[in-house]
């Protein structure tokens, strides 16, 4: 049985890690490279970095930061934000990232998923999505873009299925409603998407306790879970989270 992955997320803004609630009220947390090393050495299975204002500001991603992280850690990491072309994807891969996350770009130009999968392999292409509750959508959730700044009218499950068909190798489901609240993942939409696609699904947004990750894996049918505030704050370490996963009989990598 494949082990479940615990993935710290570092939202980067102006070269610093930041954290907010529902994409607002961000506070400075530290240097992304230093934090990446600490999480890599502390048992994280992967890392993910989002240049959180790149898309909204319509500028390229910080390639220097990607290169610095690649030199410093020995675990896989994904990068997203400010990626608008296949050439941008190539720069991120050449800078040392194992995966590229596309979100707003993919909604605007879905073919970038197919192009990226053909060029680099589908295992390198991650679809990030920011769904928000909307009863008018068939699955009950609508896709938003540009950091929850724009509503798209897209049904979250239908978009996930289309992206997987186009070649996305993984889907990150980041609930806008739960983001930064530490009240638990949005299990309903995570489970709906996990059951609808044949690629790994990552739960994101709302982790506050190790029990929330247990629920994401068992009830949300997720293959991995992203953590941010609960570890950035020092309330929990990756090792502590993993010990509780093992206690709950969740298959977990415990050697690093």
Active site amino acids:
11, 130
For the chain, how are helix, strand and coil distributed in percent, rounded to 5? 35, 25, 35
SS3 76: coil
Tokens 């980041």 correspond to: 174
SS3 96: coil
Six token digits for residue 147: 């950091």
Q: Are 55 and 82 in contact (CB under 8 A)?
A: yes
> E strand or H helix at 15, and its extent?
none
Question: From the centroid of its chain, how far is CA 90?
Answer: 19
6 φ, ψ to 5°? -110, 120
Nearest alpha-carbon partner for 124 in 94, 104, 160: 94
Q: Report H helices in 95-207.
A: 104-108, 111-120, 156-166, 187-196
CB neighbour list of residue 124: distance below 8 Å, 6 or more residues apart = 93, 98, 99, 100, 116, 117, 169
What is the chain's alpha carbon radius of gyration, rounded to the nearest angstrom? 16
Q: How many CB atoms lie within 10 A of CB 233?
A: 12
């Amino acid at each position: 049985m494949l082990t479940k992955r615990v993935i710290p997320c570092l939202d980067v803004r102006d070269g610093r890690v930041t954290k907010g609630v529902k994409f607002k009220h961000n506070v400075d947390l530290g240097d992304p490279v230093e934090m990446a090393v600490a999480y890599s050495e502390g048992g994280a299975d992967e890392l993910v970095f989002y240049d959180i204002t790149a898309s909204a500001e319509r500028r390229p991603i910080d390639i220097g930061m990607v290169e610095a992280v690649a030199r410093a850690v020995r675990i896989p990491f994904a990068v997203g934000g400010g990626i608008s072309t296949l050439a941008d994807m190539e720069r991120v891969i050449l800078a040392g990232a194992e995966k590229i996350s596309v979100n707003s770009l993919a909604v605007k130009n879905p073919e970038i998923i197919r192009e990226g999968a053909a060029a680099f392999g589908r295992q390198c292409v991650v679809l990030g999505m920011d769904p928000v509750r909307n009863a008018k959508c068939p699955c009950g959730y609508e896709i938003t873009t540009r950091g929850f700044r724009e509503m798209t009218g897209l049904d979250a499950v239908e978009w996930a299925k289309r992206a997987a068909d186009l070649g996305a190798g993984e889907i990150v489901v980041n609930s806008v409603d739960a983001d930064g609240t530490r009240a638990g993942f949005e299990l309903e939409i995570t489970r709906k998407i996990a059951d609808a696609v044949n690629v790994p699904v990552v739960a994101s947004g709302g982790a506050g306790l190790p029990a929330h990750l247990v629920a994401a894996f068992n009830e949300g049918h997720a293959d991995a879970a992203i953590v941010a505030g609960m570890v950035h704050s020092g309330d929990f370490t990756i090792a502590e989270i993993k010990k509780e996963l093992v206690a709950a009989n969740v298959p977990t990598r415990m050697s690093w």
